Amino acid sequence: MVNPSRPVRVVQWCTGRIGQISIRHFAANSAFELVGVYTTSAAKDGADAGDLAGIAPLGVTATTDKGELLAIDADCVHYAPLRPDLDDLEALLRSGKNVVTPLGFTFPRPDDEQTIRLQAACRAGGTSFHAGGIHPGFVGDIFALVGSRLHSRLDQVVVTEVVDFSGAPASEMLTAFGFGRDPDEAHRTHRLALDAYSQSIGLLAAGLGLTVDRYECGLTVAVSDEDLVVASGVIPTGKVAGMCRRWEAVVDGRSAIVFQSKWKMADDLTPEIVNGASRYIVEFFGEPATTFTIEANPSGGSAHPGQTWTAMSVVNMIHDVVAAPPGIRTHLDLPLGRSRGLFH
């Protein structure tokens, strides 16, 4: 339990874009005290956290030494590497540090081996673990669940994610998604039933009191009629430049919850995926029919608002996670979240 008279002592685990956003937030927010930073880069070892985040020096240096951070006195770790390492998560939880992360695990299955290991680590360390993110982790689960309170009847909930990747820098993740591949290859090699999305749907279904009979999924890919020059390179004519991944939760023989991820490198593809800016849309079909849209205000000044949303969705839950009983704590276990120190 954190002493309310002092800031929450936090460690930032990894210093990519999400980590840098978090460091800047911890530095500006008096509700937190940054006490440690982990980096995987030897070039960043010993660098000041402020320098890594593009702000004034903070007097906290990054380290590649995991043991040093496991031994440090901290209340919580914001865990944001490119991919999760279960051994690292276990070690952090067993060391007495609560963990929040935007990397999946939003509604883990009780009998899954990863769940069992994380629960055991929480018990051993007396710690809590919470996972979120913008989507999965927020829009399609807790945001949709709260939005359901406005309705007297629901027939279907549809959550649509629109992401324009044209400005994203080169990354192996873009290739893994299927961009730039031959359409037939994309269909053969894509990972459609991504576990994080199914967990998010499962959380919403559980929150709405639904029992899912089965999950169905599908993929549509689109190409451009001309070469596309984007931040990550060139996508040749006829190669994958957009896609729609769709997951459906079937309840009592009907499609009750639908998630759609519409990702693109340009507008006006063949077939059309979606046009316009990145945004999230939650549609409730029932009484009354209602639509919520989350998108960045162009005058907001953030170059990558989705990355800020991703980081803050869990960072702003840190106080509640630290105060929670030991164990994996999903949105169904925690308060809605009361952000601290945002006005400064």
| Residue 170 confidence class, pLDDT cut points 50, 70, 90 | confident
**Spatial distance between the Cα atoms of 185 and 236, rounded to a whole number of angstroms:** 15
Domains for the chain: give ranges and CATH numbers: 8-132+317-328 (3.40.50.720), 139-298 (3.30.360)
Q: What is the pLDDT of residue 193?
A: 47
Copy the structure tokens of residue 239.
């190669």
- Rounded to an integer, what distance in angstroms lies between the CA atom of residue 299 and that of residue 280? 18
Average pLDDT of span 148-157: 98
Q: How confident is the model over 229-257, as pLDDT tens digits? A: 998 889 999 999 999 999 999 999 999 99
Band (pLDDT 50/70/90 cuts) for residue 115 is: very high
pLDDT digits (tens, 9 = 90+) for 43-92: 999 999 999 999 999 999 999 999 999 999 999 999 999 999 999 999 99
List the alpha helices (DSSP H) in the chain. 17-28, 49-53, 66-70, 86-94, 113-125, 144-147, 172-177, 183-189, 195-207, 305-315, 318-323
192-241 confidence digits (pLDDT tens): 546 778 899 999 999 999 999 999 888 999 999 999 999 888 999 999 99
Q: What does the pLDDT read at residue 194? A: 60
Angstrom distance (rounded) from CA 199 to CA 224: 33
Nearest to 185 by CA among 221, 158, 157: 221
In terms of Cα–Cα distance, which of 138, 162, 134 is closest to 278?
162
Mean pLDDT of 178-202: 79
Does the pLDDT at position 31 exceed 70?
yes
- Residue 299 scores a pLDDT above 60: yes
